[in-house]
Amino acid sequence: MTALLAVEHLQVEFRTEEGVLRAVDDVSFELQRGELLGIVGESGSGKSVTAMTIMGLTRGPNASFSGRAVLGDLDLVTASERQLERVRGGRVAMIFQDPMTALNPVHRVGDQIVEQIRAHQSENRRAAMDRAVDLLDRVGIPRAKERARSYPHEFSGGMRQRVMIAMALSCSPEILIADEPTTALDVTTQAQILAEIGTLRKELGVGVLLITHDLGVIADVADRVVVMYAGQVVEQGSLSDIFYDPRHPYTWGLLGSVPRLDADRPERLPTIPGTPPSLLRRPTGCRFAPRCAWRFEACSRPPALKSDDPETDEHTGRCWLDLDVARERRVVGGTLGLPVDDRTTAGGGAANP
């Protein structure tokens, strides 16, 4: 089966006053029809830049790109602005983190949806408005016909995110990119929005790229997971691979940092010590090494993203540790985690600010 979207060796650099910042470094993944692919990572891991680049929204005088992001027969990295306009909102739709600011405050929500429909399809205003009302109704906005005439500030955060989803769906996209769609919402609303996205995927066969820093969200809805760190993919695999057989110490740390309701309450919530490296001055070897309790000599050279398991190449990790060693070390106090390492706080590029 050919992938809906194939990102191949994508690299994104921005020229800044302090030097060239490589925000995305050799990122590759595929998204299948009807699949929900989660991209996880801390702030600054390059996950949003990856998504924005697929939409062609990172272009600018200071940005340079290499690699490909192939949608059907179109490479989105090199596509013309005209081609991208047709893709954006048409074949690939995007919803953003903060529904409070993502809608234009001075236009009615119905009009904002109509605007998108009419940008892609030659439909008259009235027919487009009828579609907009149907969409609002479908994403669970009560009294949709009336509410289409409301302004964004007259909606709650959750309702606004539903409006965003309705807007994203308006042109029946093949791919939905959701960049932290629930981060700004409370937990109940978050669950509703995720359920909504899940339904759409099943009913419409839309491929979803869900970007989040919240593993809890990923665990609920994703089929496959890409873990990003400092602009690179450090681990990639199915949901169960990542949650039950993680290869990379960073993934262990992420999993270990998820607060658990079913375990004894620890004295402190476990965290990964240190901060991600500056993208201007990346460590030469493994980028996670300065924060990793398990680092050894090999880590001064950059590890490749590879599968250590002869049975499958679907699950890959970017770590020098042997698979059986890794499987042993990732268990801390009976659960998955990354031990705190005294060297970390003293160590190089990842010292706490």
Please report where in the chains the tokens 């039950």 appear, as a residue.
244
Give the residue, chosen from 71, 133, 167, 206, that forms a contact with other proteins under the rule CB under 8 A.
Answer: 167
Token reading at 165: 């989803």
Binding status of residue 89 toward other proteins by CB under 8 A: yes
Q: Which stretch binds other proteins (CB under 8 A): 71-79, 95-103, 234-242, 343-351?
A: 95-103
3 state DSSP class of 218: helix
Instruction: Check: CB of residue 216 under 8 Å from CB of residue 44.
Output: no
CB nearer other proteins, residue 164 or residue 185:
164
Out of 39, 93, 135, 230, the residue judged to bind other proteins by CB under 8 A: 93
Q: Which amino acid, residue 236?
A: Q
The residue from 38, 46, 67, 90 that contacts other proteins (CB under 8 A) is: 90
Identify whether the C-beta of residue 299 lies closer than 8 Å to the C-beta of residue 254: no
Give min distance, CB of 119 to other proteins, in A.
5
Whether the CB-CB separation of 237 and 309 falls below 8 Å is answered with no
The rounded distance, in Å, linking the Cα atoms of 304 and 326 is: 16
Contact between residue 232 and residue 25 where contact means Cβ atoms under 8 Å apart: yes
Considering only 68-76, 90-98, 186-194, 320-328, which stretch makes contact with other proteins by CB under 8 A? 90-98
- Shortest CB 81 distance to other proteins, Å: 8
Give the count of alpha carbons within 13 A of 7, CB side only: 26
SS (H, E, C) 85-133: HHHECCCEEEECCCHHHHCCCCCCHHHHHHHHHHHHCCCCHHHHHHHHH
DSSP conformational letter for 329: H
* 125 forms part of the interface with other proteins (CB under 8 A): no
Of the ranges 26-34, 80-88, 196-204, 213-221, which one interacts with other proteins (CB under 8 A)? Answer: 80-88
Nearest to 308 by CA among 298, 320, 299, 300: 320
116 near other proteins (CB under 8 A): yes
Shortest spacing between CB 331 and other proteins, in angstroms: 42
Name the minimum Å distance from CB 153 to other proteins.
Answer: 5
Measured between alpha carbons, how far is 264 from 255 in angstroms, rounded to an integer?
16
Q: Is 306 in the site for other proteins (CB under 8 A)?
A: no
Asked if 14 touches other proteins (CB under 8 A), the answer is no
Q: Considering only 149-157, 231-239, 246-254, 269-277, which stretch makes contact with other proteins by CB under 8 A? A: 149-157
Decide the pairing of beta strands 207-212 and 36-40: parallel
Using CB under 8 A as the binding rule, whether residue 201 contacts other proteins is answered as: no
110 binds other proteins (CB under 8 A): no
- Going from the C-alpha of 302 to that of each of 20, 198, 200, the distances in angstroms are 20, 37, 40
Q: Is 276 in the site for other proteins (CB under 8 A)?
A: no
**In this structure, are residues 133 and 156 in contact, taking their beta carbons and an 8 Å threshold?**
no
> Residue from 21, 23, 31, 102 that binds other proteins (CB under 8 A)?
102
Q: Does 76 bind other proteins (CB under 8 A)?
A: no
- Work out which of 80, 104, 240, 300 binds other proteins, going by CB under 8 A: 104
Distance, in Å, from the CA atom of 165 to the CA atom of 158, rounded to the nearest integer, reads: 11
Question: Residue 104 or residue 271: which is nearer to other proteins going by CB?
Answer: 104
CB nearer to other proteins: pick between 5 and 227: 5
Beta carbon of residue 202, minimum distance to other proteins (angstroms, whole number): 24
Q: Among the candidate windows 100-108, 209-217, 280-288, 316-324, which touches other proteins by CB under 8 A?
A: 100-108
Q: How far is the CB of 168 from other proteins (least distance, A)?
A: 9
Single-letter amino acid, residue 283:
P
**Assigned token pair, 339:** 């031990």
Where along the sequence are the contacts to other proteins (CB under 8 A)?
55, 57, 81, 85-90, 93-94, 96, 98, 101-107, 115-116, 119-120, 151, 153-154, 164, 167, 171
